[in-house]
Amino acid sequence: MKRLTLFLVCTFSTCFFGYSCFWDYDTIEMERIQFPDVIELISGKFLRHSPEFYQWRIKDRTLKLRKSPDSIALYDDLAVAYSKIGNDSKAIQIILKKDSIAPKNYKTYANLGTFYIHDGQFSKGLTYIDKAIAINPDAHFGREIYQRYLVEYVLSKMKNGKVVLPLSIDFSPSYERFPRYKSDNFYTFLTTKYSSKTGTLLKNNTLPKEELDKAIKGIMGMMKFGNYDSPILLEALGDLLMANGWKNGARQLASRAYFKASYHSKEPETKSLYKQKVAFAIYHQYTKKGGKRFTAQELEELLKQEIVEGNNFYQSIRNDEIQWIQLGKNPEKEFSKKYYQEPMIGERIQRTNTSVGMVESKYRENKPDDTITLKLLPKDTIFLKDNLANETEKTLVKKQETTDKNQTNIPIEIFFIIPIFIIILVYVIKVRRTKL
């Protein structure tokens, strides 16, 4: 009897605790420690200027250039201001004039390359990005290098002159493996580049951690100082965060990035494919041993709340800058006085009470079937000039009654316990009958 009981306990432990330990890794708090400012960038809650500010800067720098046409830095300010309001052709014109006055300048080439890329002139853009890298390869933590790689990656994905979203939709047949084993997302594109550049054969096609950290920082820099709403940047960020592995992965952050990228498109097929990427991202996320996990629906609800918070923060900055301009104050100086510290999303990280069983159920709903995935071809989407449709400014969808649902949901672990309990019960009854 003791042996059988021990055997059953060991079997039960293997099924239950072994299963739980498989999910036992990062908390969202740890994600915040490992990847600071990612949630703020995705939500838009970071320090940035308004269109009104850049209109003011255009007038200010134009007047100053008339008085001091040889002040090189003023050309950069003026050109960037035009680019920020969407007039990249004017920005190119201004920065080319600067180049004629002071050639072979790093800032000139870096800005000019970015303006050409934003204007859809990729080849010219890459030419000037290369010139900037040649002068200062380590500037902005090497951001230009990853900007170049991202443009190359996007070009490799273009179909009929357009970018198709999502850029990467291919999953391994088992749907359980790391994204780094695939050959078509931004992370694996970087591994190919790294191997070619260094002549190194990467083990398991895995980038060195320091290289991956640089790539993440580069994409975050492009989001912060360029277009944080870009679905291309968001998807690339998600791919890089996913590549950190099971124990160090930022699955909840990657899910947010994929969800935000999906808001760019109104096509149901495109949204469905991004949801599949989210399902893959959070399938192996876990809070802590014995803890709870987020479903995709819960994470999206949190994201929408975070975006509203980001929009409100940005609107307060915009209101301030409009008021300063109307009062005849210098918005640059006033901005520096008031906004000297980057904000954070929320006072504390929100937690979930969702059972493992519900997460399993939701995962099965979103997990793609191979035959369906092949049919869900995303629509052609033009990159760069598009603006993200800000669905989050509308009234938030009514919160789901997740607590009530959790109480009525049957945890998946019960299916392991019931058979074992029956076996024990049958054996005990049999032993008693034998004694009688």
243 vs 196, higher pLDDT: 196
The CA–CA distances, whole Å, from 314 to 157, 224, 363 equal: 33, 13, 34
| pLDDT in the model for residue 163 | 82
| pLDDT in the model for residue 434 | 62
Task: Confirm if 56 and 335 have CB atoms less than 8 A apart.
Answer: no
| pLDDT in the model for residue 410 | 43
Q: What is the CA radius of gyration of the chain?
A: 26
64 vs 276, higher pLDDT: 64
Q: Which residue has the tokens 């995709």?
A: 296
Q: Is the pLDDT of residue 364 over 70?
A: no
- Tens of pLDDT, residue by residue over 238-275, are 999 888 754 454 788 899 999 999 998 888 888 988 98
Q: What's the CA gap between 30 and 20, in Å, rounded?
A: 19
Question: How would residue 341 be classed by pLDDT, with cut points 50, 70 and 90?
Answer: confident
Sequence-distant (≥ 6) Cβ neighbours of residue 326 within 8 angstroms:
none
| pLDDT in the model for residue 418 | 64
Q: Is the pLDDT of residue 183 over 70?
A: no
Q: Is the pLDDT of residue 74 over 90?
A: yes
Structure tokens at 71: 């002040």
Sequence-distant (≥ 6) Cβ neighbours of residue 11 within 8 angstroms:
420
Alpha helix (H) residue ranges in 199-267: 209-225, 231-242, 251-262
- Tens of pLDDT, residue by residue over 288-331, are 544 566 788 888 999 999 999 999 999 999 999 999 999 999 99
Percent of the chain with pLDDT over 90: 41
| pLDDT in the model for residue 162 | 82
**Nearest CA among 200, 250, 188, 197 for reference residue 220:** 250
**Nearest CA among 270, 256, 339 for reference residue 303:** 256
| pLDDT in the model for residue 350 | 52
Q: What's the CA gap between 388 and 236, in Å, rounded?
A: 16
Among 145-149, 319-323, 400-404, name the one with the lowest average pLDDT.
Answer: 400-404
Partners of 15 in the β-ladder: none
| Mean pLDDT value across the chain | 75
Q: How many C-alpha atoms does 381 have within 13 Å on its Cβ side? A: 28
Q: What's the CA gap between 39 and 29, in Å, rounded?
A: 11
Q: Is the pLDDT of residue 21 over 90?
A: no
Q: How many C-alpha atoms does 201 have within 13 Å on its Cβ side? A: 0
Question: How many CB atoms are located within 10 Å of the residue 104 CB?
Answer: 10
Question: How would residue 159 be classed by pLDDT, with cut points 50, 70 and 90?
Answer: confident
**Nearest CA among 280, 267, 260 for reference residue 367:** 280
The CA–CA distances, whole Å, from 155 to 190, 232, 241, 325, 400 equal: 14, 12, 22, 41, 41
Partners of 162 in the β-ladder: 159
- Tens of pLDDT, residue by residue over 100-110, are 999 999 999 99
The CA–CA distances, whole Å, from 95 to 92, 188, 383, 389 equal: 5, 35, 23, 31
Q: Is the pLDDT of residue 203 over 90?
A: no
Structure tokens at 426: 């049958």
Residues in the chain: 436
Task: Confirm if 277 and 179 have CB atoms less than 8 A apart.
Answer: no
Q: What's the CA gap between 327 and 330, in Å, rounded?
A: 9
Question: How would residue 338 be classed by pLDDT, with cut points 50, 70 and 90?
Answer: very high
Q: Is the pLDDT of residue 355 over 80?
A: no
| pLDDT in the model for residue 305 | 93
| pLDDT in the model for residue 330 | 96
Q: Is the pLDDT of residue 377 over 80?
A: no
Sequence-distant (≥ 6) Cβ neighbours of residue 33 within 8 angstroms:
none
213 vs 346, higher pLDDT: 213
Return the amino acid letter for 314.
Y
Structure tokens at 394: 């509308």
Which of 32-41, 199-208, 224-233, 422-431: highest mean pLDDT? 224-233
Question: How would residue 284 be classed by pLDDT, with cut points 50, 70 and 90?
Answer: low
DSSP string, 114-168: HHHHHTT-HHHHHHHHHHHHHH-TTGGGGHHHHHHHHHHHHHHH-BTTBEESSS-
Q: What's the CA gap between 391 and 228, in Å, rounded?
A: 16
| pLDDT in the model for residue 2 | 40
Which of 86-90, 357-361, 418-422: highest mean pLDDT? 86-90
Question: How would residue 9 be classed by pLDDT, with cut points 50, 70 and 90?
Answer: very low
Buried-state track 111-137, b at ≥16 Cβ within 10 A, e below 16: bbbbbbbbbebbebbbebbebbbebee
100 vs 371, higher pLDDT: 100
State the sign of the Cα–Cα–Cα–Cα dihedral 217, 220, 224, 225. positive
Q: Which residue ranges make up each domain of the chain?
A: 2-67+137-332+353-427
| pLDDT in the model for residue 417 | 61
Over residues 139-157, mean pLDDT: 86
CA 405 to chain centre: 29
| pLDDT in the model for residue 366 | 56
Which of 169-178, 230-239, 343-352: highest mean pLDDT? 230-239
Question: How would residue 199 be classed by pLDDT, with cut points 50, 70 and 90?
Answer: confident
